[in-house]
Amino acid sequence: MTADHRTPHPPIQLQVDLGDRSYPITIGQSLLNSPELLARHVAGKRVAIVTNTVVGPLYLERVAGLLREAGMQVTTVVLPDGEEEKHWGNLMKIFDVLLAEKCDRKTTIVALGGGVIGDMAGFAAAAYMRGVPFVQVPTTLLSQVDSSVGGKTGINHPLGKNMIGAFYQPQAVIADTATLDTLPDRELSAGLAEVIKHGAIIDPAFFDWIEASIGLLMARDPVALAHAIQRSCEIKADVVRQDEREGGLRAILNFGHTFGHAIEAGMGYGEWLHGEAVGCGMVMAADLSHRLGFIDAATRERIAALVKAAGLPVTAPDLGAARWLELMEVDKKNEGGQIKFILLKPLGRSVIMPAPQDALLATIAACTARTA
């Protein structure tokens, strides 16, 4: 695909097919200027918008205004910003406001923000009065290509990432790509990690396209970004359709995450961005895949080069081997005390399996030793 820089793109409509829990994903520029789009997905007359102190000043008034114009009663919850704020205390703050404002079970919760807000607001929607409708309005690249789709919601625990949560699907996902204009470069790179992930685990042609388009993507070319978001959502929706509650296949979406979650928890939430940890984790998973003979050295280097070109770290923090193992033992994929990894076999296909200890330790040593 080629793209003229800054060419606008028409809205793209996708569907997550999950029977009576199916929902549309709309991807387009300036969707938050459209008076009817959001209101269309709100069944009742009450809405609670959950956002944070960074996204709120940028987009809250616009979204609240649209809903008020459509005749809705709007409550707002503005949480502190950051991964380190994705915890029980802030979840309770959402419930505090919902209860104080007497929000009933027909209230729709709108998650306005990145993956942290989407995961927390989605979990609040799953639990408030045993479940109220919610709509995802993702405003980061990461949340537009990944976290807003598929219904995983939750919060972190000091002992493990995303350890408390629920599967709970939204009514709709509305991804306004114009919101990416205000996104810091570091956050754009974090989102590209999940785009690369989708190509690496499932679609080698998409991986080739990302390699060829990384310059356009880093320059925020809107057509290239729209294609990256569309293809990522198509891939994710297809995996979720087949395995909504991660009985098997869906675990491949965690490529790079076993290492990545260990980096996030080991460094302290918020130190490394989730996408940065996933990017570096994919380099480690590719290294492990190579050590087990599943991909050749050239493919491992291709993956590392693309992660680097996306502005992401390729060298992991030196946590010490024992701490690495301890952190990776707290992972939802693990069974019977065995750490499980998503490995490439070959690029574009993935397997889920435990790894021999010697290969794992060699990967940890190689990927943390390169610190320069």
Residues that are catalytic:
130, 152, 194, 236, 246, 250, 254, 257, 261, 274
- Angle between helix 257-267 and helix 274-291 axes, rounded to 10 deg: 130
Candidate list 22, 182, 338, 357; residue touching ligand NAD; CB under 6 A: 182
Q: Does residue 54 bind ligand NAD (CB under 6 A)?
A: yes
Nearer of residues 150 and 311 to ligand GLY, judged by Cβ: 150
**Which amino acid, 92?**
M
Which H or E element spans position 135? strand 134-138
Candidate list 21, 220, 250, 332; residue touching ligand GLY; CB under 6 A: 250
Q: Does residue 113 bind ligand NAD (CB under 6 A)?
A: yes
Q: Per-residue contact track with ligand GLY, 134 to 153, x per CB under 6 A?
A: ------------x---x-x-
Nearer of residues 150 and 281 to ligand GLY, judged by Cβ: 150
Q: Does residue 197 bind ligand NAD (CB under 6 A)?
A: no
Nearer of residues 55 and 94 to ligand NAD, judged by Cβ: 55
- Identify the DSSP state of 318: -
Within 8 A by CB and 6+ apart from 158, the residues are: none
143 binds, among ligand GLY, ligand NAD, none (CB under 5 to 8 A by kind): ligand NAD
> What residue is closest to ligand GLY based on CB?
253
Q: What residue spans of 294-356 are helical by DSSP H?
A: 297-309, 321-328
Nearer of residues 153 and 299 to ligand NAD, judged by Cβ: 153
Q: How far is CA 351 from CA 48, 102, 200, in A?
A: 41, 48, 12
Residue 206 near residue 231, CB atoms below 8 Å: yes
Q: Which of 372, 356, 361, 253 is nearest to 314 (CA)?
A: 372
CA angle 151, 232, 281 (to 5 degrees): 85
Q: Per-residue contact track with ligand GLY, 35 to 74, x per CB under 6 A?
A: ----------------------------------------
Q: Does residue 83 bind ligand NAD (CB under 6 A)?
A: yes
182 binds, among ligand NAD, ligand GLY, none (CB under 5 to 8 A by kind): ligand NAD
Annotate 138-173 with b (16+ C-beta within 10 A) or e (fewer): bbbbbbbbbbbbbbbbbbbeeebbbbebebbbbbbb
- HSE (CB half, 13 Å, CA atoms) of 168? 24
Question: Which residue ranges make up the site for ligand NAD (CB under 6 A)?
Answer: 52, 54-55, 58, 81, 83, 86, 113-117, 119, 139-140, 142-143, 146-147, 150, 152, 162, 179, 182-183, 187, 190, 274-275
Binding site for ligand GLY (CB under 6 A): 146, 150, 152, 250, 253-254
